[in-house]
Structure 1
Amino acid sequence: MARRSDHTRDELRTMIVHEGHRQMSQVGFARFSAREVAKRIGYSIGTIYNVFGSYDMLILAINAQTLTQWQAHVQARLADARTDRLRVLVEAYFEFAVLHHHAWTALYDHRLPDDVAAPEYYQDHIRSLTGIARDEIAAALPPERRAEADGLTRSLLATVHGHCFFTLNGTFKLLGETRPLDTVYARVREAIGTSFTSN
C-alpha cells in the first residue's frame, strides 16, 4: 500500500532517483519501468509524476545521477594520473561505459521532445563533465591553438564516444578492430597535433 505521508518531497525525490538508478543500471532504458520503481518504494505511480512532473523529467533526474558518478570517476582517474593525462581521460571514458553499461547507454537512449529543453541543473551536469575534457585538451594544445579548445572538445568527444559505442555494441569486432582504445587515442593525438607513444 502506498505510504502517502511517510516522506517529505525531497526524501521522496531521493528515494525515487536511488531506486530508479538502481533499476536503470540493471535493466537499461528499454526495459526501465517507472511503475516498477513506484512499486519498489511502496508508492503509487502518481506519486512519482507528482514529484517529477513527467516521465522525461524522471529519466533526466536518474541520468543526472549517472553523470555525477561519471564525473567522479573521471576526476579520480585524473587525480592519480602520473603520465599522459589525455590517455587517462580517454581510458576513463571507456572504463565508465564498460562498468556502467546500461546507465551510460541510457544517457543517449533517452530523447527529450523537440519542444522540451533540459532543465538548467541537467545542463550544468553536462557542462561540468565536458568542462573537464575541455580543460585537459586546452592544456595539451600549444598556446597559439588554445582558442580552438571548445570546438575541438566537442569534436573529440564525438570521436571517443563513437569508438566507445562501437566497442560496446560489437560493431568494431565485426569490422576487425581489435584495439579501439589505442585507435581513438591516436585520433585524439592527431587532432591535437602532438606525438604520442602507444601503451
Structure 2
Amino acid sequence: MAKRSEHTQEELKALILSAAETIVIEEGFPALKVRRIAAEIGYTVGSIYMVFINMADLIVHVNAKTLDALSAQLGQVQACGAEHSIEALAMTYLNYASDNFNRWRTVFDYAPTEKTVTPDWYQEKVTDIFSPFKAQFAELVPELSGDNSNRAARALWFAIHGICLLSLTGQDDKTRIYDIEETLVLLIRNFISGWRTNFIK
C-alpha cells in the first residue's frame, strides 16, 4: 500500500471505487460499508468523504461502472432482425446478470431516499440500457408510435428484467439458466405476437 500522501484525489477516488467494487462482487451490497472500505484502503472515513459527498454518492458511482459494463455488452449484440435482436439483447442481459450477480443486484438493491437526488449523468446511463430494446421494438411494431410505443417497450423490458430477477435471486444452481432463456423467449415472442395481432386488418 502506498503512503497516503502519494495518492492524488483522482487516484484516491479510483482506489475507493476499486475497493467498493471488490466488496460488492465478493460479498454483495449489504457488506458495502464506509468503514469497511476505509479499512481496506488504509484511509480514514473522513478521507472517503473528501472524495464522495456521502455514501449514496459512492454507491451511485459504483453502480455507474456496472451500468457501463452492461451497456458495453448490450452494445456488442449484432443486429439480426428486430425480433431476434430483442431475444439476443435479453440473453445478453440475463448472462451479464448471472455472471455478475452481486454487481447487477446492487444496482436494484440500492434504494435512494426522497432526499437523494439522482444525477442526470447517472439517469442517462440507465436510459442507455433500455434504449436498444426500445429501438428494436419500435422497428417491430411501427404502427405503434410515440408514447404508446415507449410504454409497450418499457413493459417488455420490465418483464424481461423481472424474469431475470425472480429466476436468479436465491438460485445456487446455475445449470437452470437454459430454463430461464426458454422463459424469456416465450415471453418475448408472445408479447410481440400480441401487438402484431392488434394491427392485423
Q: Could you state the TM-score of these two structures normalised by the residue count of structure 1?
A: 0.84
> Any unmatched runs of 5+ in structure 1?
none
* 1:90 match: secondary structure: helix
Q: Which amino acid aligns with 2:125?
A: H
**1:145 corresponds to which residue?**
144
Higher relative contact order (CA 8 A, sep 6+): 2
User: How far is the alpha carbon of 1:90 from its aligned partner?
Assistant: 0.9
Instruction: Note the alpha carbon deviations across 1:27-62, whole angstroms, 9 max, x for none.
Output: 100122322222222211111122111111111110
**1:164 corresponds to which residue?**
164
**1:89 corresponds to which residue?**
89
User: How far is the alpha carbon of 1:120 from its aligned partner?
Assistant: 1.4
Q: Which amino acid aligns with 2:97?
A: A
Say whether the 8 Å CA contact 1:64–1:125 is kept in structure 2: yes
Instruction: Note the alpha carbon deviations across 1:99-147, whole angstroms, 9 max, x for none.
Output: 0010111111111111222111211111111112211222222x21143
User: How far is the alpha carbon of 1:170 from its aligned partner?
Assistant: 4.7
- After the TM superposition, which segments of 4 or more aligned residues of structure 1 sit over 6 Å from their partners? none
* Corresponding position: 1:184 with 2:166: no
In structure 1, how many angstroms separate the alpha carbons of the residues matched to 2:192 and 2:103? 30
Count, aligned residues: 189
Listed as ranges, the matches of 1:1-199 within 5 Å are 3-76=3-76, 78-79=77-78, 82=80, 84-141=84-141, 143-147=142-146, 148-170=148-170, 179-193=179-193
Q: Which amino acid aligns with 2:56?
A: D
Q: CA RMSD in A?
A: 2.6
> Any unmatched runs of 5+ in structure 2?
none
User: How far is the alpha carbon of 1:3 from its aligned partner?
Assistant: 4.3
Say whether the 8 Å CA contact 1:74–1:89 is kept in structure 2: yes
Say whether the 8 Å CA contact 2:74–2:92 is kept in structure 1: yes
Determine what percentage of the aligned residue pairs are the same residue. 27
Q: Which amino acid aligns with 2:140?
A: A
Q: Could you state the TM-score of these two structures normalised by the residue count of structure 2?
A: 0.83
Q: Which amino acid aligns with 1:67?
A: L
Q: Which amino acid aligns with 1:7?
A: H
Say whether the 8 Å CA contact 2:134–2:150 is kept in structure 1: yes
